[in-house]
């Protein structure tokens, strides 16, 4: 049983697209995605510095584009040329925060260009909401879960990412984050993060409203494989049954709007992977964060994190071993 995981914002690093552009056809692929995003992704993925690609409006489309480049390279390597083929190779797909748009594209809900165009709009609206509501995030590592939740609440913040493995990311005003740092829960470390706003909280309400207007009428098709939701970890098939039994494209888009103001329950996504009997997972480029979380919460599951094309061979080997339908 094989899962593909797509990373979220914060996974980016300078130059991460550089080695991929040496692969045949990738430069043209990135050009097309750049046109969809309205950004020069090749430049941002090769020569832009860390501060430039930390900008939400740049980071989100750059991460999704990089993940899709890696996904298509790997799927082509195992004989899955299109979304229907991917549905025979990948048993379940999930993405963390903005990675859920990558996951939706792999599941066939969106084309790659449509996903990048949509995420560029999402990023612009979230960046605008962050500018309107100066705020930030902090990772809370360790501590008793109930005590951590209480400390976040008492500081006036929200749990924005519940990642499992003893990691929660709190979000709120700068004053709330400072209060949480000053009154850290017992046996926990609080580490402020270099992000532009309190994503996945009510402070993003204006972004959710604006993104909802963008999504209304957006072209989407039903997923061809189980697509897990950040909201509750459940596959869309448990929410509404579409033609293929995996929910509908409309459901997927509605969830993408909802997650802008709701916590990312990655702990529940990981629990669902375990419940479904996943034995192998591939984290798409820029990989590493989600594999690290899985190491603690799904220790018996084989993992490959893709960062460069050199990782495609071990990823393909993992696909061959754990996918029920790989060529």
Residues labelled catalytic: 97, 200
Element (DSSP H or E) covering residue 191: strand 188-193
Nearest residue to 155 via CA among 174, 139, 168: 174
- What is the full DSSP assignment across 203-268? GGHHHHHHHHHHHTT------SS-BB-TTTS-BGGGT---TTSS--HHHHHHHHHHTTTS-B-HHH
Angle among Cα 310, 84, 80 to the nearest 5 degrees reads 25
Instruction: Identify which of 102, 122, 120, 99 has the alpha carbon closest to the alpha carbon of residue 111.
Output: 102
CB atoms within 10 A of CB 223: 29
Note whether 266 and 162 are within 8 A (CB): yes
Q: How far is CA 22 from CA 27, 74, 104, in A?
A: 8, 15, 26
Give the C-alpha separation, 3 to 86, whole Å: 11
DSSP state of 18: G
What number of CA atoms fall less than 13 Å from residue 147's CA on the CB side? 13
Sheet harboring 2-6: ordered strands across? 92-95, 2-6, 280-283, 302-305
What are the Cα distances from residue 166, in Å, to 243, 268, 281, 290? 38, 13, 21, 14
């Amino acid at each position: 049983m094989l899962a593909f995981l797509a990373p979220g914002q914060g996974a980016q690093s300078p130059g991460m697209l550089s080695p991929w552009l040496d692969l045949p056809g990738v430069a043209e692929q990135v050009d097309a995605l750049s046109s969809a995003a309205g950004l020069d992704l090749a430049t941002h993925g090769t020569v832009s510095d860390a501060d430039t690609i930390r900008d939400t409006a740049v980071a989100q489309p750059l991460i999704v584009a990089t993940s899709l480049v890696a996904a298509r390279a790997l799927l082509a390597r195992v004989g899955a040329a299109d979304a229907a083929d991917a549905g025979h190779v990948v048993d379940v797909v999930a993405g963390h925060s903005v990675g859920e748009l990558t996951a939706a594209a792999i599941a066939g809900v969106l084309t790659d260009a449509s996903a990048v165009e949509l995420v560029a709009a999402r990023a612009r609206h979230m960046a605008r909401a962050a500018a309107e509501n100066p705020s930030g995030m902090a990772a809370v590592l360790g501590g008793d879960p109930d005590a951590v939740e209480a400390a976040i609440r008492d500081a006036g913040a929200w749990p924005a990412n519940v990642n499992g493995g003893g990691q929660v990311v709190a979000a709120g005003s700068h004053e709330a984050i400072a209060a949480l740092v000053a009154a850290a829960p017992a046996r926990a470390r609080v580490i402020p993060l270099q992000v532009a706003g309190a994503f996945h909280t009510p402070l993003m309400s204006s972004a959710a409203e604006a993104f909802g207007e963008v999504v209304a009428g957006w072209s989407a098709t039903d997923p061809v494989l189980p697509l897990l939701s950040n909201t509750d970890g459940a596959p869309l098939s448990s929410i509404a049954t579409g033609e293929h039994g995996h929910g509908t494209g409309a459901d997927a888009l509605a969830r993408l709007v909802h997650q802008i103001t709701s916590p990312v329950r990655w702990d529940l996504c990981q629990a669902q992977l375990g419940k479904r009997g996943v034995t192998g997972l591939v984290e798409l480029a820029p990989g590493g964060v989600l594999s690290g979380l899985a190491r603690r919460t799904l220790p018996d599951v084989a993992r490959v994190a893709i960062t460069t094309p050199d990782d495609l061979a071990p990823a393909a080997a993992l696909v061959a071993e754990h996918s029920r339908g790989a060529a």
